[in-house]
Amino acid sequence: MEDVFSRTRTTDPTISAAAYNLIIGLTLLWGFGLNWYMVETIPAESIASINNWVFFIGYFASCFFGMYLYKSSSNPTVSFIGYNFVVVPFGLVVNLVVSRYDSEIVGEAIRVTGMVTVIMMCLGSMFPAFFKKIAGALTIALLVVIVVELVEVFVFGIHHGIIDWIVVGIFCGYIGYDWGRANQIPKTMDNAVDSAAALYMDIINLFIRIVRILGRN
């Protein structure tokens, strides 16, 4: 399965840079809008009542299936379907997280996430080579943080706030990295959807951590 950002050439019709960026933006807005709808209509208690193992298995199965669809397909419709298989399980997690905090904190987290995202996209456009260089370090750091956090939560039953700050830094880097790469591949409708899917996961992970940081403060 070819990585989205390894596509250096294409036989599909290309589109203008403006249309390409518009499709990325609209696809992101669809994902965020669907998440908002899920938060508004699905009680967090009903999600929390799901067996943990069933939830985690369903979550990862849906995400990996969605990623497989959008990475392996050059059809934007199929990729968009795969994108939704990622958006829905993320929406359930977002629902659980935001249900713990006041609407003012969630609103502030949305504003902060939006501003940080715009800044990192600008930096990703200006310094794509820099973000490409740190991509390996970002991946290693994320894997280490995941392992440490799992051990803290499931073995020791604790969570250190500094981890949230570290994850924020990691996903800031990923936003710059993925945005820079998105603008270096052929500008097709399918690549726009695929790029939006990668950016969506970066931004949602960033948002979740910012909510937790602001909630503690």
Specify the pLDDT at position 156: 76
Question: Which tokens go with 49?
Answer: 């009542």
Residues 31-59 have pLDDT tens digits of 999 999 999 999 999 999 999 999 999 99
Residues 191-201 have pLDDT tens digits of 999 999 999 99
Specify the pLDDT at position 216: 84
Confidence of residue 3 (pLDDT cuts 50, 70, 90): low
The type of residue at 162 is I
Which residue blocks in the chain are alpha helix, DSSP H?
A: 17-41, 44-48, 52-72, 76-98, 103-126, 128-133, 135-151, 161-182, 189-216
Specify the pLDDT at position 2: 55
**Domain locations along the chain:** 12-216
- Average pLDDT along the chain: 92
Pick from 1, 2, 216: nearest CA to 109:
216
Asked whether residue 7 carries a pLDDT value surpassing 90, the answer given is no
Least confident segment among 9-23, 113-127, 153-167, 191-205:
153-167
Residues 74-91 have pLDDT tens digits of 899 999 999 999 999 999
- Rg of the chain (C-alpha set): 17
Residues 158-198 have pLDDT tens digits of 777 889 999 999 999 999 999 999 999 999 999 999 999 99
Integer CA distances (angstroms), 78 to 3, 176, 190, in order: 16, 26, 9
Q: Rounded to an integer, what distance in angstroms lies between the CA atom of residue 131 and that of residue 175?
A: 9
Q: Rounded to an integer, what distance in angstroms lies between the CA atom of residue 40 and that of residue 193?
A: 25
Pick from 207, 184, 99, 79: nearest CA to 135:
184
